[in-house]
Structure 1
Amino acid sequence: MTDASSPAPEPIRFFGTTWVAHGAAYWLRRVGVSLGALLTVAAGALVLRFAVGGVRISQSGGFVTWLLVAAIALCSFLAALRTWKVLAEGPEALTGWMAEDKSLGAVWLIGCVGAAAAYFARSLLEAPGEGVHRAAWEAASARYDERGGSRSGRPGKKRRKK
């Protein structure tokens, strides 16, 4: 049993704190999130297909169409890699070019299909971000237990009233 001052688990988007106990609501949400991410991948791929079709209709040449497809594939790969890293290791793991950089905003936007695909794949393993949240919660709980269940860190030391 936990008291009010013990560390509480952080809620995860779409899951709340159901990821702690893995109840029935957790599994239903996992299925829902997986299907939603898969539908997002399909819708994003359809939009990108229309974009490539528009370039093909413009008769700008096979090289330009191939270059556009390669750029979309590269952006999707980079966005998927970044999303997987955030969901598996946390946002603190992003370093260098993967960190929040305003100049790469277009890459992440174009690669939205890859990001949604990574979210879908991660949702097949766990609630996306569950591992990071569980590790943080367990570390906070261990620190709390080491201090003897007290916020002050000195449970035996009480202040005396004067």
Structure 2
Amino acid sequence: MSEQPPTPAPKPAGVPEPEPIRFFGTSWLDRDNGYWPRRLGVSTGALVATAAAVLVLRFGVEGVALSDSGGFLNGLLTAAIAVCSLMSVRRTWKVLTEGKDQLTGWMAEDKSLGAVWLIGGAGSLAAYFARSLVEAPGEAVRRAAYERAVEQHAKRRAGRSGRPGGKRKR
């Protein structure tokens, strides 16, 4: 006789469901169903992708250096890459810790800054890697939203008087 794993109890209607996170689904809620191996895999993948992006940027800078265009242009290119990377790190960190809806000003979705985010992609990947060492990237934002939803649901259920429409009897 084989034992089957216990099936989770069905949730009552109207109870909020957690939003899934890429690569983790909803396993971040209870940190089960392969959460830790996924975290390790995401961290490793982000580190490898960061190294690849840095390598591509290095080839680009070396290509400009080989063109004998001068030290000023090489310095300007290096400074531009550094600034773009720092901007991308800041933006990615803010998205992962506070949520995309908190982006304002220059960090908000702006089509004209697409090149900046592309050049700073290595910085963005580095921020993703650093955040994945702490939690599933974006977990804090999703957990806070889920806890607010559960709390609001509990308040609504506690506030019901049991009478349809909430009308008082005269």
**Shared fold per TM-score greater than 0.5:** yes
Q: Pick from 87, 106, 109: which aligns with 2:96?
A: 87
Equivalent in the alignment of 1:96: 105
**Which of the residues 7, 13, 24 maps onto 1:15?**
24
**Secondary structure of the residue that 1:148 maps to in structure 2?**
helix
Q: 2 CA distance for matches of 1:96 and 1:107? A: 15
1:78 aligns with 2:87: yes
Task: Tell me which stretches of 4 or more aligned residues in structure 1 moved more than 4 Å.
Answer: none
- Write the distance in 1 (CA, Å) between the matches of 2:40 and 2:67: 41
1:118 paired residue number = 127
For the Cα contact (< 8 Å) 1:147–1:155, is it kept in 2?
Answer: no
Gaps of 5+ in 2: 1-8, 166-170
Report percent identity of matched pairs: 61
Q: Deviations over 1:46-70 (max 9, x none)?
A: 0000000100010101110111011
Post-superposition offset of 1:92: 1.2
Q: What's the CA shift for 1:3?
A: 1.6
Partner AA of 1:76 in structure 2: S
Quote the residue 2:5 is aligned against. Answer: none
* Whole-angstrom distance in 2 between the partners of 1:4 and 1:112: 43
Question: Please, what is the CA RMSD of the aligned residues?
Answer: 1.4
CA distance in 1, matches of 2:161, 2:26: 29
Over alpha carbons, which structure has the higher Rg? 2
Q: Which amino acid aligns with 1:129?
A: G
Q: Quick check: 1:105 aligned with 2:114?
A: yes
The alpha-carbon deviation at position 5 of structure 1 amounts to 1.9
Which secondary structure does the structure 2 equivalent of 1:5 belong to? Answer: coil
Q: 1:155 to 1:60 in 2, by over 3 A?
A: farther
